[in-house]
Structure 1
Amino acid sequence: MSAERVEIARPGGLLRRRWLSWARGLEESESGPFLVLMALSIAFATAIAVWPEWLPPSVILLPLTLGSVTLGPRQLPWFVVASLGFVALSVPLQAELGARLMVSYGLIFVVGFIFLVISFRRTTLGVAGSRGESMLVELRDRIMRVSNLPRLPGDWYAEVVLRSAGGTPFAGDFVVAARPGNGQRLEIAVVDVSGKGAQAGVRALQLSGAFGGLLGAVPPHMFLEAANDYLLQQEWAEGFATAIHLSVDLKTGVIEVRSAGHPPAVKLNAGIGRWSAVPSEGPALGLIPHTTYACVHGQLRRGDAIMLYTDGLVETPTRDMGLGIDRLLGQAERVLRSGFDTQGIEKLIETLGSRHDDRALLVLHRR
């Protein structure tokens, strides 16, 4: 009985494996979708000519739309031209060409021209629409992953919140963090790339990878200098960025703050319950070669906290940065008075700054 079952099961399993292999090959092949869509386009064009009273000419837009999503820039122009050619061949076969039918054919050729323009614009990227979107999603996820903070000891709490201009998933503000060596120190950098939203997203991605590597590879006093040298080497038209670097000894709470054209950090003194700015100055990254950055020393005692942010949180077109920092201090005392949690920090970033600019906020609290 078992032998018979094996003999019966084998053909079905073999067919299933062959079907899955064929489907996978068709999905990964560049010519597979092209041939399927071409056959679909021919079938629709034939149906339009044979049964014009049942099938409107606009049905050919279905394979054209699918082709614009799945086909690459080398195949899409040929597919669009061929599909429009099939439609043109079906025109003389129509019994009568009324005004409505002529408008339908005109719209089909206009949409086909739009798809041709789309295919020519994709040539610089070299991938299909869906694959290009997947690449952008991966880039966005990469920026978000770099902002993840390392695991901290139980007596430390950290939270980072990012908001981009216009609500897009790409932003010119990012955070990188590391615990180099034996993990006794925490290194954090909050960076604001020139530009905003999607315009600065590509530069932010490149810098986040480079700065993330530098953060754990060079001593704290050399990080901003190395970042400045790296940015100068890029020779970008808008090749500058502001940054603030925080180095924390997780055992003693001793901190070092260095700034490169960035708004000052603000620190909570738990003894008096007041927030105050930590003055730190230095030129922005990518402007002056061979520059140095002064260090401001301090300490986070039990209950103290420090906050790093970008200028989008404190500066708006109608308010200068000084007034914005004062408002940040007042809101922090009010919102975070009962304790530090994700909800309070998100409320803080939502009530401050401009929604038309990228915003980043990081809070580090010693419990």
Structure 2
Amino acid sequence: MAVTASVERATEDRPRARLRRIAAFAFWLRRTALQSEAFLLPALIAASIFVGVIAHFHTVWAQPAMVTLPLLLGGFLLRFTAQLVLLVVSALVVVVDALTSHPARPTPGTVLLIGATALIVLVMSRGRVRLGVRGTRGESMLFDLRERLQAQGRVPQLPRGWHLELALKSAGGQSFAGDFLIAARSDQDGVDGWAADMPAEQSKGCGRLQLGLVDVSGKGLQAGTRALLLSGAFGGLLGSVPPSQFLAAANRYLLRQGWEEGFATAVHLVIDLETGDYECYSAGHPPIAHLAAGSGRWSLRETPGPVLGVLSDVEYTPTRGRLEYGDGLMLFTDGMIEQPGQDLSVGLDRLLGAAGTLQTKGFGGGAARVVDTVARKTNDDRALVLVWRTRHGL
């Protein structure tokens, strides 16, 4: 009986062992073979020659134009010099087929197709050479960078009664934008430098939420690369320096970059999660809006301050207020209020009018609703942040 059971277990394990070997081979193929030109270039050359041979003897099922398939794969997986070698081999395959075929081939359309494919592949390759990557790693790198940019704007978990929503849309619907949000929260006294700016009796036991909404000059992909760099730098500063010094430190960092188009606007909001008191610092940014639940009205809180990256040795003074239960704050970038040929006051009135429905329809999902209502078709990056306070459990 024991021998029979062992044989049965061995029989059951064979398919699993076979699957493990197949998975190991696939992993090796993806991580080693497909990243090695010593393997890829001979394989693609052999594929081009094989296509030429099949096209020569089987004209119904294969045509010389099929050499474009190895060329396309080479455009994604090979370096520029290796692609030139593959292109020469593919051209020789087409020439040999033309000289040995009766009637003569390829047709002018086939030559045009192969030439256009080769041109596209070489242009793609030049871009990858400039980027310093090959294969699909360039796209995966950009995907990773986009994820890192979005991670900077992930808001830490808030205590009960506090809520936050972000709606961010880029110009043209692209993945990168010049607007971004950074956030940090501290639960211990003095961890973010706030307590050092406050009297001891006020700082004791405080939890702080800091938000930074930044609008980099330009829009879409043009501003996306600068926004990526600044989000990492500003995210490191947020919570590491006292709130009163954050925008000044960000301004000094931006000045050191020496960009020709290097300015940015920003609004920095610091909220005491115990009392609802807040401070708002602005660097050339549009005003924030405060909803008072008692009156049901939105009011603008202007906070003057120079834009980042233009002047040195500047100081930023805050505007102070308090969020009571039912109150809300709205932070936004200029893409929400700017319209060609219109004054900013018109855009502000339109935005506050759309935000007036939040009390009746609810704040949940309100950020996206306001953006779609006010700036759905705007050809600019736009971002809107809603922060509101409710009683515990609501």
Instruction: Report the TM range for the smaller structure's normalisation.
Output: over 0.9
Partner of 1:322: 345
Q: What residue ranges of structure 1 are gaps of 5+ in the alignment? A: none
Aligned counterpart in structure 1 of residue 71 of structure 2, from 64, 68, 77: 64
Aligned counterpart in structure 2 of residue 140 of structure 1, from 140, 146, 155: 146
- Over 3 Å counting, the alpha-carbon distance change for 1:82 and 1:181 in structure 2 is farther
Q: 1:290: Cα distance to partner?
A: 1.1
Q: 1:240: Cα distance to partner?
A: 0.9
Partner of 2:272: 249
In structure 2, give the amino acid aligned to 1:87.
Answer: V
Q: 1:317: Cα distance to partner?
A: 1.2
Report the 3-state secondary structure (helix = DSSP H, G, I; strand = E; otherwise coil) of the residue aligned with 1:217. coil
Report the 3-state secondary structure (helix = DSSP H, G, I; strand = E; otherwise coil) of the residue aligned with 2:136. helix
Q: Distance in 2 between matches of 1:72 and 1:165?
A: 33
Is residue 360 from structure 1 mapped to residue 383 from structure 2 by the alignment? Answer: yes
- Over 3 Å counting, the alpha-carbon distance change for 1:106 and 1:324 in structure 2 is closer
- Over 3 Å counting, the alpha-carbon distance change for 1:10 and 1:301 in structure 2 is closer
- Over 3 Å counting, the alpha-carbon distance change for 1:302 and 1:54 in structure 2 is closer
- Over 3 Å counting, the alpha-carbon distance change for 1:187 and 1:59 in structure 2 is same
Partner of 2:361: 338
Contact 1:336/1:345 (8 A) holds in 2: no
Aligned counterpart in structure 2 of residue 112 of structure 1, from 109, 118, 121: 118
Is residue 228 from structure 1 mapped to residue 262 from structure 2 by the alignment? Answer: no
Deviations 1:72-128 (A, max 9, x none): 445333323322222222221111226x72331232123213212221222111223
In structure 2, give the amino acid aligned to 1:86.
Answer: V
Aligned length: 365
Is residue 85 from structure 1 mapped to residue 85 from structure 2 by the alignment? Answer: no
Contact 1:160/1:360 (8 A) holds in 2: yes
Matches within 5 A, 1:296-311: 296-311=319-334
- With 16-25 and 44-53 compared, the bigger mean Cα shift is at 16-25
Q: 1:283: Cα distance to partner?
A: 0.6
Deviations 1:270-289 (A, max 9, x none): 11110010010111001101
Partner of 2:221: 198
Partner of 1:23: 26
Contact 1:176/1:188 (8 A) holds in 2: yes
- Over 3 Å counting, the alpha-carbon distance change for 1:35 and 1:112 in structure 2 is same
Report the 3-state secondary structure (helix = DSSP H, G, I; strand = E; otherwise coil) of the residue aligned with 1:23. helix
Is residue 37 from structure 1 mapped to residue 44 from structure 2 by the alignment? Answer: yes
Q: 1:66: Cα distance to partner?
A: 2.4
In structure 1, give the amino acid aligned to 2:250.
Answer: A
Partner of 1:216: 239
Partner of 2:175: 169
- Over 3 Å counting, the alpha-carbon distance change for 1:5 and 1:75 in structure 2 is farther
Q: 1:11: Cα distance to partner?
A: 7.4
Report the 3-state secondary structure (helix = DSSP H, G, I; strand = E; otherwise coil) of the residue aligned with 1:318. coil
Q: Distance in 2 between matches of 1:340 and 1:248?
A: 19
- Over 3 Å counting, the alpha-carbon distance change for 1:61 and 1:272 in structure 2 is same
Q: 1:169: Cα distance to partner?
A: 1.0
- With 116-125 and 230-239 compared, the bigger mean Cα shift is at 116-125
Contact 2:75/2:122 (8 A) holds in 1: no
Partner of 1:127: 133
Q: Distance in 2 between matches of 1:248 and 1:273?
A: 21
Partner of 1:186: 209
Deviations 1:311-366 (A, max 9, x none): 00011113222221121111111344332111x32110012135200000001001
Report the 3-state secondary structure (helix = DSSP H, G, I; strand = E; otherwise coil) of the residue aligned with 2:367. helix
Contact 1:265/1:278 (8 A) holds in 2: yes
- Over 3 Å counting, the alpha-carbon distance change for 1:152 and 1:119 in structure 2 is same
Q: What residue ranges of structure 2 are gaps of 5+ in the alignment? A: 189-205
Give the CA RMSD over aligned residues. Answer: 2.1
Aligned counterpart in structure 2 of residue 282 of structure 1, from 293, 299, 305: 305
Q: Distance in 2 between matches of 1:77 and 1:167?
A: 36
Partner of 2:192: none
Aligned counterpart in structure 2 of residue 94 of structure 1, from 98, 101, 107: 101
Deviations 1:174-216 (A, max 9, x none): 0001003527000001000011001111111111111111111
Report the 3-state secondary structure (helix = DSSP H, G, I; strand = E; otherwise coil) of the residue aligned with 1:112. helix
Deviations 1:155-174 (A, max 9, x none): 11111110000111110000
Q: 1:252: Cα distance to partner?
A: 0.6
Matches within 5 A, 1:144-163: 144-163=150-169
| Percent of matched pairs sharing the same residue | 42
Q: Distance in 1 between matches of 2:304 and 2:15?
A: 73
In structure 2, give the amino acid aligned to 1:291.
Answer: V
Is residue 76 from structure 1 mapped to residue 79 from structure 2 by the alignment? Answer: no
